[in-house]
């Protein structure tokens, strides 16, 4: 039986694959994203790779360095502090709004996120768990039904993923299960003030789990990173 060849990914599909690899910490901050290497790994042309890298650059997940090429972005300590300060200003109030609006279907969806996060942790896939944890926060913004805020929180979570990859010093940087469970309980009770306070405390816990001192990651080779 003749095997049907698998088509090479489009530029958008390649962007999505690399974006997920960054968010799940397969590709560490500082990893060089060589066009030829990516092309060989995914069987695509340099034109396709360049288009995907350009989109990643627009998302601020990749930075281009003059005469050196593209690298996974490395947020500075200053930016890390600014990102979490912004989250502390926005997310507690968003949690308040989400608690007022949450439907039974919304609660089930959030619970499914927690279940998937726990499964990833049980499998030892911390990168996947961290990605799902970030998506949980984005889902809260969707429930609050504030599109501008949702877009902003999505951008902040994208930067947070890189920050955690660089400055994570203990496992608690992954959103601890009790924090998310408590938030779901507040949403189910439509208790806005409690949801706001829980989110505020949760973000403080996240910041204390990070070692915000200047450091540079030691990335694997691109092929090793993407084959894990």
Residue range 73-123, pLDDT digits in tens: 999 999 999 999 999 999 999 999 999 999 999 999 999 988 998 898 888
Residue range 37-74, pLDDT digits in tens: 999 999 999 999 999 999 999 989 999 988 888 999 99
175 and 81 share one domain = yes
Q: What is the pLDDT of residue 7?
A: 76
97 and 182 share one domain = yes
- Tell me the residue range of the domain where 193 lies: 77-208
Is 98 inside a domain boundary? Answer: yes
Count of domains forming the chain: 2
Q: What is the pLDDT of residue 173?
A: 47
Backbone angles phi, psi at 221, to 5 degrees: -65, 155
Confidence category of residue 210, pLDDT binned at 50, 70, 90:
confident
Is 23 inside a domain boundary? Answer: yes
133 and 87 share one domain = yes
152 and 196 share one domain = yes
Is 51 inside a domain boundary? Answer: yes
Which of 86, 80, 100, 79 is CA-nearest to residue 191?
100
| Alpha-carbon span 94 to 194, nearest angstrom | 12
The predicted model gives 142-158 an average pLDDT of 92
Is 115 inside a domain boundary? Answer: yes
């Amino acid at each position: 039986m003749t095997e049907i060849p698998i088509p090479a990914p489009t530029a958008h599909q390649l962007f999505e694959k690399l974006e997920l690899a960054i968010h799940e910490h397969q590709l560490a901050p500082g990893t060089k994203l060589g066009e030829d290497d990516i092309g060989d790994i995914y069987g695509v042309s340099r034109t396709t790779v360049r288009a995907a890298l350009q989109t990643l650059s627009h998302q601020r997940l990749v930075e281009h360095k003059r005469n050196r090429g593209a690298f996974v972005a490395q947020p500075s300590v200053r930016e890390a502090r600014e990102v979490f300060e912004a989250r502390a200003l926005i997310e507690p109030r968003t949690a308040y709004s989400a608690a007022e609006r949450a439907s039974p279907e919304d609660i089930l969806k959030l619970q499914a996120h927690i279940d998937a996060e726990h499964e990833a942790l049980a499998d030892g896939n911390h990168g996947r768990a961290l990605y799902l944890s970030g998506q949980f926060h984005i889902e809260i913004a969707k429930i609050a039904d504030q599109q501008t805020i949702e877009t902003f929180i999505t951008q902040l979570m994208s930067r947070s993923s890189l920050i955690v990859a660089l400055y994570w010093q203990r496992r608690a940087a992954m959103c601890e299960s009790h924090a998310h469970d408590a938030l779901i309980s507040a949403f189910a009770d439509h208790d806005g003030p409690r949801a706001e306070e829980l989110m505020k405390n949760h973000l403080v816990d996240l910041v204390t789990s990070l070692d915000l001192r200047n450091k540079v990651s030691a990335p694997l080779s691109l092929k090793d990173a993407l084959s894990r």
